[in-house]
């Protein structure tokens, strides 16, 4: 059974004082959810810090619960459009495990449930009327928490509405529940693979997450001809070293997975203890650039606060550090700020 409380956790591991003092306050903390697959892996600190809560979440007052302003950019109940040519559809708030660094804390684990038929119809109608949108992220939550039949209906609806759109299948299930990827699920994906291609978007933050079961799932997606891109989040005490990031990138490449993004942590309330200073992130990127080819090097990227959008950290958008504050320019030329002392 999945772990859903501190009492459950204590059956498998000895909690630290910081972990034991955590409280689910219904505000900026997420519920506890650690999948059966992850339970034996939390013995390692790199996995533990991602899924076991800390009282530091309760004490963090930096940022807010919606730093990307997704509510303001929502064009339907579940469709978020922050860019001209792409949008994100929030399939469900449920995951197989809740990441303590989750940037969508306002939504994940909120018990609102999967998107309704009306939600899907409204999103598909909007996409049909906006041909300039070329990509849609099917995200959440984790879309693969849905049943096969619900996924079939969802994918068919979107594909029927806009078969020319590239749909990104966004998931952490390869880390948290690789057993979900059954032959029947792959049949659903194959059945709906008409039109523009699917892309599988994974999040592996450490090479320990790439288990034999995860490798098997990767191979099955590749057999279907579905490209796989990985998005890593830079996390303190998890992967904040050149060695760990390089090992992860090399492992992914060996499995035909492209290291796509290395994300700076968003300014989400409750996650400050996991964020890495930008100056250290730049040092890590420099070391990775010296150790990896262009094929293996993910783009170190920041999703700017106040819905500023994604920009490369090492780029003309970075205006520098002054008085402990980094200043960035959005693509539209507006200023956004990010603290060095996270």
pLDDT band at 96 (very low <50, low <70, confident <90, very high): very high
- Rounded to an integer, the average pLDDT of 125-133 is 98
- pTM for the full model? 0.95
Q: Considering 82, 172, 180, 336, which one is annotated as catalytic?
A: 82
Q: Which of the residues 81, 95, 167, 336 is marked catalytic?
A: 95
What CATH number should be reported for the domain holding residue 280?
A: 3.20.20.70
Q: Is 310 noted as a catalytic residue in this protein?
A: yes
336 is catalytic: no
Is residue 86 annotated as a catalytic residue, yes or no?
A: yes
Q: Does the annotation mark 303 as catalytic?
A: yes
CA distance 6 to 22: 9
- Supply the Cα-derived Rg of the chain in whole angstroms: 19
Q: Is 323 a catalytic residue?
A: no
Domain membership of residue 75 (yes or no) is: yes
Beta pairing partners, 84: none
Among this protein's residues, is 119 annotated catalytic? Answer: no
Give the helix/strand (H/E) hosting 232.
strand 228-233
DSSP annotation of 161: H
Annotated active-site residue 78? The verdict is no
Catalytic residue among 48, 49, 81, 104: 104
Of the pLDDT bands very low, low, confident and very high (cuts 50, 70, 90), residue 24 is: confident
Q: Look at 38 and 61; give whichever has higher pLDDT.
A: 38
Q: Kindly report the three-state secondary structure assignment for every residue of 204-223.
A: CCCHHHCCHHHHHHHHHHHH
180 belongs to the catalytic site: no
Host domain of residue 138: 61-313
Annotation says 266 is catalytic: yes
Quote the tokens at residue 304.
């700017």
Q: Taking all residues of the chain, what is their mean pLDDT, rounded to a whole number?
A: 96
**Catalytic position from the list 86, 134, 190, 258:** 86
Whether residue 325 is contained in a domain is answered as no
**Statement: residue 26 has pLDDT above 60:** no
Alpha helices in 134-211 (DSSP H): 148-161, 173-176, 183-191
Is 241 a domain residue? Answer: yes
Domain count of the fold of the chain: 1
Band of pLDDT at residue 25, cut at 50, 70 and 90: confident
The rounded distance, in Å, linking the Cα atoms of 210 and 206 is: 8
Over 80: is that where the pLDDT of 342 sits?
no
Predicted local confidence at residue 27, as pLDDT: 56
| Closest residue by Cα to residue 306 from 264, 266, 262, 265 | 266
Round to whole Å and give the CA distance between 183 and 200: 17
Structure token digits, residue 11? 């059956």
| The pLDDT value given to residue 146 | 98
Which residue among 20, 134, 289, 310 is the active-site one? 310
Does a structural domain hold residue 81? yes
Residue 227 lies in a domain: yes
Our answer to whether residue 300 is catalytic in this structure is: no
Residue 163 lies in a domain: yes
């Amino acid at each position: 059974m999945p772990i859903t409380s501190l009492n459950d956790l204590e059956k498998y591991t000895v909690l630290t004082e910081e972990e034991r003092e955590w409280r689910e306050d219904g505000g900026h903390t997420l519920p506890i959810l650690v999948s059966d697959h992850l339970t034996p892996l939390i013995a390692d600190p790199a996995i533990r810090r991602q899924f076991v809560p800390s009282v530091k979440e309760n004490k963090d007052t930096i940022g807010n619960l919606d730093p990307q302003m997704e509510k303001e950019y929502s064009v339907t109940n579940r469709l978020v459009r922050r860019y001209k040519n792409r949008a994100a559809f929030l399939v469900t708030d449920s995951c197989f495990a809740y990441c303590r660094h989750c940037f969508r804390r306002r939504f994940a684990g909120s018990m609102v449930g999967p998107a309704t038929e009306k939600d899907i119809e409204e999103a598909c109608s909007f996409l049909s009327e906006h041909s300039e949108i070329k990509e849609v992220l099917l995200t959440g939550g984790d879309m693969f928490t849905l049943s096969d039949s619900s996924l079939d209906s969802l994918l068919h609806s979107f594909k029927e509405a806009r078969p020319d759109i590239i749909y990104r299948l966004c998931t952490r299930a390869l880390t948290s529940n690789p057993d979900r990827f059954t032959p029947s699920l792959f049949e659903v994906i194959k059945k709906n693979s008409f039109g523009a291609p699917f892309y599988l978007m994974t999040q592996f933050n450490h090479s320990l997450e790439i288990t034999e079961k995860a490798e098997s799932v990767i191979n099955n997606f590749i057999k279907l001809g579905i490209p796989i891109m990985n998005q890593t989040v830079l996390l303190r005490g998890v992967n904040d070293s050149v060695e760990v990031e390089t090992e992860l990138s090399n492992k992914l490449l060996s499995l035909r997975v492209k290291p796509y993004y290395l994300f700076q942590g968003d300014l989400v309330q409750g996650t400050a203890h996991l964020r890495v200073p930008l100056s250290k992130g730049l040092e890590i990127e420099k070391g990775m650039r010296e150790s990896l080819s262009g094929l293996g090097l993910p783009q170190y990227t920041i999703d700017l606060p106040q819905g500023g959008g994604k920009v490369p950290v090492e780029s003309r958008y970075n205006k520098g550090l002054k008085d402990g504050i980094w200043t960035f320019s959005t693509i539209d030329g507006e200023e956004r700020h990010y603290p060095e002392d996270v």
